[in-house]
Chains A and B, each alone.
Chain A
Amino acid sequence: NAGVTQTPKFQVLKTGQSMTLQCAQDMNHEYMSWYRQDPGMGLRLIHYSVGAGITDQGEVPNGYNVSRSTTEDFPLRLLSAAPSQTSVYFCASRFDRGSNQPQHFGDGTRLSIL
């Protein structure tokens, strides 16, 4: 059981480039989410999905797009990378929203925008 798998683990981009951060889970969880972690800011929710075909914005959605075509996959797209998007990104999954079950996290993607 792999849990939540994120790729790549590290990435360096130039300003204006686009890229997709991949996230997959094998626990059949309905709820998936993307966070960014910055020093002193804790975890901030970017986007989330309550099931295949359903996504919604979190606290800091600007500059990011998501889609959820399958239960397993929840990719995060940076449309035009900016230095302010330098961060560590975590994907997480959970049985469902508002659940007493915990979030399961991937190991993160460390992204630098030059």
Chain B
Amino acid sequence: AQSVTQLGSHVSVSEGALVLLRCNYSSSVPPYLFWYVQYPNQGLQLLLKYTTGATLVKGINGFEAEFKKSETSFHLTKPSAHMSDAAEYFCAVSEKYSGGGADGLTFGKGTHLIIQP
């Protein structure tokens, strides 16, 4: 069974500083990987995804993530934090469905990003 670990339930950075949100997964097969963002009182929105091909993926709002198979990681970064980036971020992993009763998508518990002025 796959699992997703997001290191740090809260991450605080200064405005203009580098944002790094960590995501590690366990999967028996190469997975599909997603980052979602949730702003207060809203649903989850897709930031970016990795399916195949280039391991560095660019998303919306200046975010990017790199799939590192050897490290089973998919960390999210942004070079310069903005106040509007304050939100909850979720990493998610999906395996190609191969039968069985389980849902194919697993979410991490989320990281709350705090931006200090």
Contact = CB atoms under 8 A, between A and B. Distances in A.
B46 interface: yes
Given A90-B44, A102-B34, A107-B42, A97 B51 contact: no
Interface string B82-97: 0000000010101111
A33 B44 contact: no
A53 interface: no
Interface stretch (A11-19, A37-45, A66-74, A79-87): A37-45
B107 A43 contact: yes
Nearest to B33: A100
A22 interface: no
Interface string A24-67: 00000000010000001111010010000000101000000000
B46 A102 contact: yes
Interface size grouping (class) on chain A: 20 to 34
B90 A43 contact: yes
Interface stretch (B11-19, B20-28, B68-76, B98-106): B98-106
A102 B92 CA distance: 9
Contact of B109 (A40, A92, A110): A40
> In the complex, which of the residues B44, B49, B95 has the most CB atoms of chain A within 10 Å of its own CB atom?
B44
Contacts of B96: 98
Contact of B51 (A42, A100, A105): A100
B106 to A, nearest CB: 9
A107 B36 CA distance: 14
B104 A42 contact: no
A1 interface: no
B43 interface: yes
Nearest to A103: B105
Nearest to A33: B103
Interface of A: 4, 33, 40-43, 45, 48, 56, 58, 90, 92, 94, 96-100, 102-103, 105-108, 110
Given A43-B90, A90-B44, A102-B34, 13 more contacts: A4-B43, A42-B107, A48-B103, A56-B101, A92-B44, A94-B105, A96-B97, A98-B94, A100-B49, A103-B92, A105-B43, A106-B43, A108-B41
